[in-house]
Amino acid sequence: MAAAPVGPGAAFFEVLDRHRASLVAALRRGGPEASAQGTRLASRFEDSVGLQMVAHCTTRKIKSNSLKSVKKFALILKILSMIYKLVQSNTYATKRDIYYTDSQLFGTQTVVDDIINDISCMLRVPRRSLHILSTSKGLIAGNLRYIEEDGTKVHCPCGTTAVAVPSNIQGIRNLITDAKFLLIVEKDATFQRLLDDDFCNKMSPCIMVTGKGVPDLNTRLLVKKLWDSFHIPVFTLVDADPHGIEIMCIYKYGSRSMSFEAHNLTVPAMRWLGLLPSDIKRLNVPRDSLIPLTKPDQGKLDSILKRPYITCQPFWRREMEIMAESKMKAEIQALTSLSSDYLSRVYLPNKLKFGGWI
């Protein structure tokens, strides 16, 4: 029988425990860190929810008697009829399943994806209420157990392996964890390296999740469910570049394409753990480990700085300004220039112990 993972001890988690207590207190007050409940539309960005649909947004009409839109109209009706059958029979299908029912008619998977999003937005219901699921690409590891909809008992490992994020997050139940924190890792390569370094055992009890880049819907739903269920601190570990910041913003504030479901997907209480642009200078990361910002990078950074939620995050703004001033970016792997296991042995433990998040 495998020995239970032994973490660093209670004293290590004192700052984390205080952070969690402050988050729970904010929830009780109904402040900006609170989770929003219920479906509603907002006319602006809300720091308690994230990006929301505006109340008077632009709409478009698709008519059955118009040559320009008759095919789109027919495809919407076809997918609506399939959704009706799924709901009536209490069965589920993936977007890929729907596409392959008549791939020649739909043409591309993107056509199906866009129509499903339009229907979900039009009816103001989450996609899972349409009985349409997404294929999961994310992974999860650490101190977590749950039961899937079909009764399968899942015990997430704390070693060098991980399990796939479930395809039906709404169906999982009996979630159990004693984790002190949830760490979202941007890239699969970094996630795997942390597993190889036995990070989950060394920092036990904890949970690690990766969406393997831009997160899919199920990974976002899982992170939200874990936050709503346990209210443990949620941190992100992303590259110190505009793309990594964008991914972090999706977890925390949502995306425009899914703004109609922001209240089910966002975790505004999430914190940026690393890699911070200021850490690059503080740790004396060698310059030859850094990468110059490209013109698209600079454009992306400028775009993020103009977003309304950045006004609520002065420390984030300062980190992005540091990046812009240096005209350099860094991947998490740049820390290996300090030592091969610097990330798991020094960087993350110190950040977690001493509160090095913003």
- What are phi and psi for residue 146, nearest 5 degrees? -160, 170
- What are phi and psi for residue 118, nearest 5 degrees? -65, -45
- What are phi and psi for residue 47, nearest 5 degrees? -70, -10
Contacts of 41 (CB under 8 A, 6+ apart): 52, 53, 54, 55, 260
Residue listed under structure tokens 């939200």: 224
> What is the token pair recorded at 67?
């040559």
Considering only CA atoms, which of 246, 217, 219, 255 is closest in space to residue 234? 219
> What is the token pair recorded at 206?
């904890």
Catalytic residue among 84, 92, 99, 100: 100
Residue 337's alpha-carbon distances to 20, 205, 330, in angstroms, are 33, 29, 12
Mark whether 100 is an active-site residue. yes
Q: Which active-site residues does the annotation give? A: 100
